[in-house]
Chains A and B, each alone.
Chain A
């Protein structure tokens, strides 16, 4: 089955800095890569996703890049703000049929004011 590795486990930055979270996956059949943000005590929420037919996707301060050959994808957050503090999970799955994402272990992002 799919295995997703995520690094780092904790990331501490100053407000305004950039943050990068990296993930690798094992199953070359995976073609959909979502990122979820989970604030303390709340549900995971989808913040951005990318499909294997593109290499990069951007939404305001958030961007995701995908390297299918190397089987890795990354989340980039620019101009970080204290409200970006949360746990971020990457995941990998097939985009069609039953959606059963395999999640990474999560990255706790702390943005210091």
Chain B
């Protein structure tokens, strides 16, 4: 059984550009969460989706947006990239969005570098 898959694994973008990161949850999982992990810090919560609806939003600017598709995969979009957006972006999936930590699994992340 495949785990949480994220693409691409690495990405280099220029300041001001836009980026789209993708996440496919574990088969059967319907909830996806996104985190930003800056070097030397713990993951910071960005968004949580369950059944295609936003269930939570962290303290990030409106340049960050996300959506979940009918097949439960998800995209994270970041507009007008800043140097400070350079980070590892992690996706986590779980069976449901309302069962606490049950089955919560992280993907390996997308390393975004903004130059």
Contacts and interface: CB of A to CB of B under 8 A. Distances in A.
Nearest to B42: A103
A34 to B, nearest CB: 6
A96 to B, nearest CB: 5
Contacts of A105: 40-42
Interface size class of B (residues with CB under 8 A): 20 to 34
Interface residues of A, number: 28
A89 B101 contact: no
Interface centre among B43, B50, B97, B98 (most CB of A within 10 A): B43
Contacts of B98: 96-98
Interface string A39-67: 00111111001000000000000000000
Contacts of A93: 100-101
Nearest to A6: B42
Contacts of A34: 101
Given A43-B109, A105-B42, A32 B55 contact: no
Nearest to A9: B40
A22 B98 CA distance: 29
Interface in A70-96: 89, 91, 93-96
Given A34-B101, A100-B48, A105-B42, 20 more contacts: A32-B101, A36-B106, A44-B90, A89-B43, A93-B101, A96-B98, A96-B100, A98-B48, A99-B94, A99-B104, A100-B33, A100-B45, A100-B56, A100-B58, A101-B101, A103-B43, A103-B44, A104-B42, A105-B41, A106-B42
10 contacts: A36-B106, A93-B101, A96-B98, A96-B99, A97-B100, A98-B56, A100-B58, A104-B42, A105-B40, A105-B41
Interface of A: 4, 6, 32, 34, 36, 41-46, 49, 89, 91, 93-106
